[in-house]
C-alpha cells in the first residue's frame, strides 16, 4: 500500500511541475528584487509599507517588500489551483485506499487458505504415514506367512494326501478282490425251510413256529418270494413288511424300488438258519396284494437308544393298488406309542396337526410327489426333504423310512435339508429324535383272536 501511495505522489509532483503559472510570469523581475527582506523593527516595517510592502500572514514575521507581496499574491493563486488538484486527487486516494484494503483482505484470505491447505497436507501426510506403517506390518505378516506357515501347511496337506492315496489304493485292491469273488453268483447260506404257505399266519398253522425267513406264495398265479416271519410276538403269524435296525440299507429310493421292494430279508445267526431279520422294504405291490386278501392288522414296534420299547397297533390296515398311488387306510388304534396315523402329532394344534395325519394319504417318493404340500411344486416335496418313501401328508408325524441317525437326538444343522428327516415317531420321542429300530408287521385280522 505504501508503494502505491508513493507512486501516486510521484505522479502528482510530475504533474505539478508541468503547471503554467501565467500570473507569475507577468511579474517583472530584476536581479535586485529576487529576494525577500524580512524585518522586525516597527520603524522599518512602517517604512516598508509606505514603500508599497505588505505584511506576512503572521504579523510577527514582519513586513514583506513589494516584490514579496507579488510573490504572496502568486502563492495564493497557486494555492487555489493546488487545492483544486488536491480535491480532485482525494477521491482517487480514497479509491486507492479502498482498493488497498481489498487487496490486503484478499491477501489475508489467501494466506489463511494457504495455512489451511498446509494443515490438510500435513494431516494427509500423517494419515499416509499411518497407512504406510500398516501396509508394511501386513506385508511383513504376509511375507512371514508365505515363507513359514504356507510351506508348513503344504507339508501337512501333502502328508494327508499321501495317507488318502494309500487308503484309495487299499480300497481299489478291496474292490478288485470283491469283483473277483463276485464273478460267480452269490448263494445264500440259509436253507429255506420246507414248510411254506400263503403268508406267515398260514405257515404258523402248518407248523412253522420258528421266527425266520420263509418262502410264501399268496397267489398261485404269481411266483413265491422270501419274507421274514415273526412267529413269537402275540402268538405269531406276523409278516415283516418293513424293518430298520442299523442303517445298513439306504431308504432314500425311487418309486420303482419301493414298488418292487429292496434290502436284505434275513441273515444267518450261526445256527444254519436265517433267524435274524435284515433291513428291507417288502415292496408296495406285495404289501397291497397281501392286505387285499382279507382283513389285515398292522403292528409297528419301536426301540430307542436306551433300549426302551413301545408299539402302535391298528386292527384295520389296507394298501390300495398302484393305480391309486397305494393309498393307505387304517383304523382301530391300540398301543403305547401314540396314534400318529389317525391323530397326527399331539405336539401340534389345529391345521398344523391335521396336516400330519397319514390315514388316507397316497405314497410318495422323491421322484413321484403325491403329498399334500403344494402338489406339483418340485421345491415342496416331503419325500425329498424327509429322506424316504412314505404316506406323507404335509408332511408327517411318523417317518419310519427316514434317515438313520446314530445316537438318537439330531439337529437341523445335521439334517440334509434342515428338516426332521430322521426315523421319527413324534408322539413318542418328538421330531428331533431318530429311533434305533422300528419295524412294521402285518397278519390276517381275526376279531376272536
d(CA 393, CA 332): 20
Do residues 241 and 381 share a domain? Answer: yes
Q: Which residues, 6 or more positions from 423, have their beta carbon under 8 angstroms from its beta carbon?
A: 244, 399, 400, 401, 402, 403, 404, 405, 434, 435, 438
Do residues 333 and 227 share a domain? Answer: yes
Length of the chain: 449
Residue at 45 is within a domain: yes
Do residues 414 and 295 share a domain? Answer: yes
Do residues 293 and 429 share a domain? Answer: yes
* Domain boundary, last residue among 124, 143, 172: 124
Residue at 289 is within a domain: yes
The whole-number pLDDT of residue 21 equals: 40
Residue at 187 is within a domain: no
CATH number at residue 284: 3.90.215.10
* Domain boundary, last residue among 96, 124, 152: 124
Angle at 117 between CA 114 and CA 120, to 5 degrees: 155
Do residues 95 and 241 share a domain? Answer: no
The whole-number pLDDT of residue 59 equals: 62
Do residues 222 and 332 share a domain? Answer: yes
Q: What is the pLDDT of residues 108-158, one digit of tens each?
A: 888 888 888 888 888 888 888 888 888 888 888 888 877 887 788 888 888
Do residues 118 and 233 share a domain? Answer: no
The whole-number pLDDT of residue 66 equals: 58
Question: In the chain, how many domains are there?
Answer: 2
Q: What is the pLDDT of residues 266-304, one digit of tens each?
A: 987 766 678 889 999 999 999 999 999 999 999 999 999
Residue at 172 is within a domain: no
DSSP 322-370: GGGT--EEEEEEEESS--HHHH--TTS-THHHHTT--TTPPPBBTTB--
Residue at 136 is within a domain: no
Residue at 195 is within a domain: no
The whole-number pLDDT of residue 314 equals: 98
Q: What is the residue range of 394's domain?
A: 200-444
Do residues 100 and 212 share a domain? Answer: no
Residue at 130 is within a domain: no
The whole-number pLDDT of residue 39 equals: 40
* Domain boundary, last residue among 124, 141, 175: 124
The whole-number pLDDT of residue 156 equals: 86
Do residues 382 and 270 share a domain? Answer: yes
Q: Which residues of the chain have pLDDT under 50?
A: 13, 15-16, 18-51
Residue at 242 is within a domain: yes
Amino acid at each position: 500500500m505504501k508503494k502505491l501511495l508513493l507512486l501516486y505522489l510521484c505522479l502528482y509532483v510530475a504533474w505539478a511541475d508541468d503547471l503554467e503559472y501565467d500570473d507569475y510570469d507577468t511579474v517583472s523581475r530584476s536581479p535586485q528584487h529576487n529576494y525577500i527582506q524580512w524585518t522586525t523593527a516597527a520603524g522599518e516595517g512602517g517604512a516598508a509599507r509606505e514603500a508599497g510592502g505588505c505584511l506576512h500572514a503572521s504579523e510577527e514575521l514582519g513586513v514583506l517588500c513589494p516584490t514579496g507581496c507579488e510573490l504572496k499574491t502568486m502563492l495564493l493563486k497557486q494555492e487555489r489551483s493546488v487545492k483544486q488538484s488536491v480535491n480532485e486527487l482525494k477521491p482517487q486516494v480514497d479509491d486507492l485506499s479502498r482498493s488497498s484494503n481489498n487487496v490486503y483482505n484478499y491477501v489475508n484470505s489467501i494466506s489463511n487458505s494457504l495455512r489451511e491447505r498446509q494443515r490438510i497436507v500435513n494431516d494427509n501426510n500423517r494419515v499416509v504415514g499411518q497407512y504406510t506403517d500398516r501396509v508394511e506390518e501386513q506385508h511383513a505378516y504376509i511375507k512371514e506367512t508365505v515363507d513359514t506357515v504356507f510351506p508348513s501347511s503344504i507339508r501337512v496337506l501333502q502328508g494327508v494326501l499321501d495317507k488318502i492315496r494309500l487308503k484309495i489304493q487299499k480300497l481299489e485292491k478291496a474292490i478288485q478282490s470283491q469283483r473277483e469273488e463276485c464273478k460267480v453268483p452269490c448263494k445264500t447260506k440259509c436253507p429255506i425251510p420246507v414248510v411254506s404257505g400263503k403268508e406267515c399266519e398260514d405257515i404258523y398253522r402248518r407248523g412253522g413256529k420258528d421266527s425266520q425267513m420263509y418262502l410264501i406264495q399268496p397267489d398261485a398265479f404269481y411266483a413265491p418270494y422270501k419274507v421274514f416271519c415273526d412267529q413269537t410276538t402275540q402268538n405269531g403269524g406276523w409278516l415283516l413288511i418293513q424293518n430298520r435296525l442299523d442303517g445298513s440299507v439306504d431308504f432314500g429310493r425311487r418309486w420303482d424300488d419301493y414298488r418292487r421292494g429292496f434290502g436284505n430279508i434275513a441273515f444267518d445267526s450261526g445256527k444254519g438258519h436265517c433267524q435274524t431279520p435284515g433291513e428291507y422294504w417288502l415292496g408296495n405291490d406285495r404289501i397291497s396284494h397281501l392286505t387285499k386278501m382279507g382283513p389285515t392288522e398292522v403292528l409297528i414296534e419301536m426301540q430307542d437308544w436306551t433300549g426302551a420299547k413301545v408299539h402302535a397297533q391298528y386292527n384295520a390296515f389296507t394298501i390300495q393298488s398302484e393305480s391309486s398311488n397305494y393309498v393307505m387306510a387304517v383304523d382301530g388304534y391300540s398301543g403305547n406309542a401314540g396314534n400318529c396315523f389317525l391323530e397326527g402329532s399331539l405336539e401340534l394344534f389345529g391345521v398344523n396337526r391335521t396336516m400330519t395325519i397319514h390315514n388316507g394319504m397316497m405314497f410318495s417318493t422323491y421322484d413321484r410327489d403325491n403329498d399334500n404340500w403344494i402338489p406339483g411344486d418340485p421345491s415342496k416335496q416331503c419325500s425329498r426333504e424327509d429322506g424316504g418313501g412314505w404316506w406323507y401328508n404335509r408332511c408327517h408325524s411318523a417317518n419310519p423310512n427316514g434317515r438313520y441317525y446314530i445316537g438318537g437326538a439330531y439337529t437341523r444343522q445335521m439334517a440334509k435339508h434342515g428338516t426332521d428327516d430322521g426315523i421319527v415317531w413324534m408322539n413318542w420321542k418328538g421330531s428331533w429324535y431318530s429311533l434305533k429300530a422300528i419295524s412294521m408287521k402285518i397278519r390276517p385280522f381275526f376279531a376272536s383272536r
